[in-house]
Amino acid sequence: MPRKGVPTAQVLRMLEELYDPPRSFLQFTTPLELLIATVLSARCTDAQVNRVTPSLFAAHRSAKSFAQTSQRDLEKAIHSCGTFRMKAKNIRALCKLLVEKFDGEVPQTMEELTALPGVGRKTAAIVLYGAFGKNEGVAVDTHVQRLALRLGLTKKSTADKIALDLQEQVPRAKWGRINALLISHGRAVCTSRNRKCDQCVFERHCPSSLLRGYRDLSEKCH
Ligand code: SF4
C-alpha cells in the first residue's frame, strides 16, 4: 500500500529499541482473567481496570463463579469501568458459554472467541496474544489508531481497516508486539493531547510533527 510517513519496519525496529512492554498492560494471572479484563477495558483505561480487577478476581476464580453471580452484584463490582450494564451482561453470558462448551476454559482460536458475547476481533487478538502468545491479529485501540495515523502507517480511518492495513505491513510474528509498542510510545511521547515531538525519535520523518514547519525552514537556511 503506498503511503507517506515513517516506514513501518523502521517504526517497529526503533520502538523495539526503546521499549520492552509486557504482552498486556492489563493485570491477569489466567486466560479467563485476561478475557474479563479486556472486556472491561472497552472505553475504559487499563489503569482503571487494574484497580477494579484484584477484588473482582479474588471473588470469582472461575467462569462458573462469574456465570452464577447476579447481574446486580456484578454491575456493582465493575461500575467504575463504564457501560457496566452491558459489560456485566456479556461477562455473565460468555462465562455461561465457557462452562457449557469449553469446560470453563478460554478457547484458543479467533473463531471460537469471537463467537462469545461481547468479544470482537480486537478483544480476541489481545487475549490470544496476551494469554497464549498467539499472533492472530493486530489489536487497534485508541493509542494504536492515533500513532498509526500520525506516523503515516495508514490512511484508513476505522480501527478494523487500520488493523488489516497494519497486518499487511508487519510480520505476523510481531502482530501482538506492535500493539504494545505503539501503546508505549503513545503513552510516553505521543499522547492525544500533548505530542512531545521535540523528544520523539521519529520527529525528522514524521508527517505529523509539530516541529515540521520550523525544521523545514531551518534546513533551507543552511
Ligand atoms: S513526531 Fe510528534 S506527532 Fe510524530 S510520532 Fe513523534 S510525538 Fe507523535
Assigned domain for 214 exists = no
Same domain, 49 and 71: yes
Domain membership of residue 220 (yes or no) is no
Closest C-alpha to ligand 1, atom 2? 197
Q: Do 38 and 128 fall within a single domain?
A: yes
Residues 51, 97 within the same domain: yes
Domain membership of residue 215 (yes or no) is no
Radius of gyration from C-alpha coordinates of the chain? 19
Q: What is the DSSP letter of 107?
A: P
Regarding whether 68 and 35 lie in a shared domain, the answer is: yes
What value does the mean pLDDT of the chain take? 94
pLDDT at residue 86, rounded to an integer:
97
Whether 96 is a known active-site residue: answer: no
Pocket test for ligand 1, best of 200, 201, 210 (most atoms within 8 A of CB): 200
When divided into structural domains, the chain yields a total of 2
User: Does 211 fall in a domain?
Assistant: no
Residue 209 lies in a domain: no
> What's the rounded Cα separation, in Å, for the pair 19 and 14?
9
Each residue of 105-114: pLDDT tens digit?
999 999 999 9
- Ligand 1 atom showing the smallest separation from residue 207 Cα: 4
Which of 194, 197, 215, 216 has the most ligand 1 atoms within 8 A of CB, as the residue to mutate?
197
In a domain, 164, yes or no: yes
Last residue of a domain, one of 97, 112, 132: 132
| pLDDT value of residue 58 | 98
Q: Given this model, what pLDDT does residue 3 score?
A: 44
What are residue 195's DSSP bridge partners?
Answer: 190
Q: Are residues 54 and 105 in the same domain?
A: yes
Using left for φ > 0, alpha for ψ between -120 and 50, and beta otherwise, residue 83 falls in: left
- Give the residue from 6, 49, 56, 13 showing the smallest Cα distance to 178: 13
**Nearest to 176, CA basis, from 162, 185, 166:** 166
Q: Which of 46, 87, 122, 174 is catalytic?
A: 122
Same domain, 162 and 76: no
CA of 152 to the centre of ligand 1 (A): 10
Structural domain span for residue 147: 8-22+138-199
Q: What nine digits make up the cell of 138?
A: 493486530
Domain end among 132, 148, 169: 132
Q: ∠ at Cα 50 (49, 51), nearest 5°?
A: 90
Domain check: are 98 and 119 in the same one?
A: yes
> Do 83 and 173 share a domain, yes or no?
no
Residue 209 Cα to ligand 1 midpoint, Å, equals 5
122 belongs to the catalytic site: yes
Question: Which CATH number does the domain housing residue 78 bear?
Answer: 1.10.340.30
Asked if residue 62 and residue 89 are part of one domain, the reply reads yes
Which amino acid is present at 176? G
Which of 110, 132, 154 finishes a domain? 132
Can you tell me which atom of ligand 1 is nearest the CA of 147?
Answer: 5
CA distances in angstroms from 167 to 10, 70, 152, 154, listed in the order given: 15, 40, 15, 11
Low-confidence ranges of the chain (pLDDT < 70): 1-4, 215-222
Longest dimension (CA), the chain: 71
- Encode pLDDT of 122-161 as tens digits: 999 999 999 999 999 999 999 999 999 999 999 998 999 9
Distance CA 119, CA 139 (A): 13
> Per-residue pLDDT tens for 39-53?
999 999 999 999 999
Residue 124: C-alpha distances to residues 31, 110, 127, 161 (Å): 11, 6, 5, 16
